[in-house]
Amino acid sequence: MPCRRQFLGYLPLAVSGGVALTGLLGSRAARAAMLAEQDPQAQKLGYKADTTKVDPEKFPGHKISQTCGNCQLYQGDTGSAAGGCALFGAKEVAGAGWCSAWEQG
Ligand code: SF4
């Protein structure tokens, strides 16, 4: 059975581990969900997580160079893999994605 001195020696480790775990869990919970291509609003706008997968027959005005990452409505950082979009609320879109509401950023 550990004596009081040993217990007090472990206390700072236990507290710092608890703080680190709380921070990790908190940041995961705060991370937004990704927009699914199957989402009804995403389907309405022809959203694809990969701009190269956009159907050219459905969207003849689409260009491969157009991505969420260079869209005016993209709220992620420049070059980020994912970020918010003014059209999709709390869900994130892929930086390499595209939808028919794309606007030159
Ligand atoms: S509006 Fe722009 S940022 Fe939002 S999904 Fe469409 S292309 Fe991507």
Q: What is the chain's pLDDT, residue by residue, as a tens digit (105 residues)? A: 555 566 455 545 444 444 444 444 444 446 689 999 999 999 999 999 999 999 999 999 999 999 999 999 999 999 999 999 999 999 999 999 999 999 999
Ligand 1: distance of its center to the CA of 28 in Å?
Answer: 24
> At which residue do the structure tokens 């040993």 appear?
6
Ligand 1: distance of its center to the CA of 21 in Å?
Answer: 34
Cα 7 from chain centre: 42
Give residue 60's pLDDT.
97
Give residue 23's pLDDT.
45
Atom of ligand 1 nearest to the CA of 67: 7
> At which residue do the structure tokens 């236990």 appear?
14
Cα 92 from chain centre: 4
3-state secondary structure 29-59: HHCCCECCCCCHHHHHCCCECCHHHCCCCCC
Give residue 32's pLDDT.
84
Q: How many CA atoms lie within 13 A of 62 on its CB side?
A: 24
pTM: 0.74
Atom of ligand 1 nearest to the CA of 47: 5
Pocket of ligand 1 (CB under 6 A): 47, 68, 71, 73-74, 85, 87, 93, 97-99, 101-102
